[in-house]
Structure 1
Amino acid sequence: MFRPESRRFAAIKVECWSSSVMLTSMMSGAFIMIEGGGSLGRTAQVHRLTMRLRSQGIDVVEMPEIGAADDNAAIVNLLERSPLGQWSPEAEALLMFAAHNDLLEKVVRPALAGGRWIIGTGFADASRARQSARSEAEAAWVQIVEDAVVGPDRPNLTFILEGASTSSADKGSSHALLNGMGTISQRTRRTLLDIARGDPERCRLVDPSDGDDAVAETIWNAVKVVLGERGHCLADGEFGARPIEDGSGPQGMDATVR
């Protein structure tokens, strides 16, 4: 026999389920990086993505690049204010990743533990690309240092703006890519692309020549998969995109990897 109370009870159950999903998504943070050359608009894309996520009620921390935060500026200054070649490649890698470790300990891990999202640029992939481009021996050393510092705390998703903002030779200090200082070498560019292709579940190559708006949409469509995996309901009432297991790309997405 139907009772009016049963419909009310069902509505309460749906409401509780929805609240539970939202609570779970709010307590599940994500770590997203946007990398690439210094003049490809990565900082602007970081800000656009941050604002878009905040418009969906996501608590976002826009992570500073290493050297921009007071706590690790002294570490980076040792490199920036030193003549090229003063530090051995091994020492440079240790200094770079000491700065990354500072950000991980003071910004990234506490934010993720609190269910917040981290959006930024100039993280470990940039450091590894710059340092590893010199030689295979140095690449192996940098990989050891990165694994020790970053460990399991790699970004959930990394976008690499892959364009023509390159030069035939490195300019300035060996950590220029980290702080967006102009051009990057062809070897560094190739190393960054190798990182992306070697980790297709995490990395997406994006062509910035399509224009800022198109790049922002490409990034957003991929981020919606992460939102969907966390059960987050978008402001328009639609759940975040679900990955499609059709083999068309990483996590079922048609990645723009060439």
Structure 2
Amino acid sequence: MKRGSFITFEGGEGMGKSTQIRLLAQTLEERGIDVVVTREPGGTPGGEAIRELLLQPPGEGWTIEAEALLFAAARADHVARLIVPALESGRWVLCDRFVDSSRAYQGIAGEMTDDAIKTLHGIGSGGLMPDLTLVLDASDAEVTARLARRDGGVSDAIGGRTAAFHASVNAAFQQIAASDPDRVRLIDGTGSIEEVRARVADSVANLLASRS
């Protein structure tokens, strides 16, 4: 059986990733493609349990190193129990965040280093990388405005970090996209939902053609 394709959506907070994943899933299903939509951290019972620990941490919260290890553990379970089996069965997997988020949030913005995150990913998830990564991008000012609208002043442990931290995350995603243009597409996340949807569809067209 032909292996399925693995597409991840990345970007800072409030970029509309969940909406665009849902719309792309609809497009693929209309073409007769069997699609799995999942998220990180999460996707499996173990991953969802770790998600709660990460977004609503006990006490004073995690150090950046502990946070990175928890993300890597959730991802290892996700890859082994959901992503790889789905791909091997020929299904396409659309994932809201993957290792590039750890690279941006903990590795670059969190100052753990990109190499450290890649090492954890190699140990926990066998170094699995997506076939295509779509990074939704917007200005720092737009991100701040979207977070205010989305969260109404009540954020989780990661979304509630400083504007300076989120600006570093946005810059990190841009750096990741520039360093791996064959895999990563930087997509303008501003404009209407349908305008962004069209940009996503255009970015996925080559992968669809190669797998047809």
TM-score, length-scaled by structure 1: 0.69
Is 1:208 aligned to residue 181 of structure 2?
no
Is 1:166 aligned to residue 143 of structure 2?
yes
Q: Report how far residue 85 of structure 1 moved.
A: 5.2
Change in CA separation of 1:131 and 1:60 when aligned onto 2, cut-off 3 Å: same
Query: Which one is further off, 105-114 or 214-223?
Result: 214-223
| Corresponding residue for residue 60 of structure 1 | 35
- Give structure 2 stretches of 5+ with no counterpart: 145-154
Superposition RMSD in Å? 2.5
Amino acid at match of 1:50: A
Q: Does structure 2 conserve the Cα–Cα contact (< 8 Å) formed by 1:35 and 1:159?
A: yes
Q: Report how far residue 152 of structure 1 moved.
A: 4.3
Query: Which one is further off, 75-84 or 108-117?
Result: 75-84
Change in CA separation of 1:82 and 1:48 when aligned onto 2, cut-off 3 Å: same
- The runs of at least 4 aligned residues of structure 1 exceeding 6 Å deviation read 181-184
TM-score, length-scaled by structure 2: 0.82
Q: Aligned residues, how many?
A: 198
Q: Report how far residue 219 of structure 1 moved.
A: 1.6
Question: Within 1, Cα distance between the matches of 2:199 and 2:123?
Answer: 32
With CA pairs under 8 Å and 6+ residues apart, which has the higher RCO, 1 or 2?
2
Q: Render the CA deviation track for 1:154-202: whole Å, top value 9, x for unaligned.
A: 11001111103434xxx7524x49xxx9976111111111111111110
Is 1:134 aligned to residue 93 of structure 2?
no
- Give structure 1 stretches of 5+ with no counterpart: 1-23, 233-258
Amino acid at match of 2:208: L
| Corresponding residue for residue 223 of structure 1 | 204
| Secondary structure in 2 matching 1:209 | coil
What does 1:235-246 align with in structure 2 at a 5 Å threshold?
Answer: none
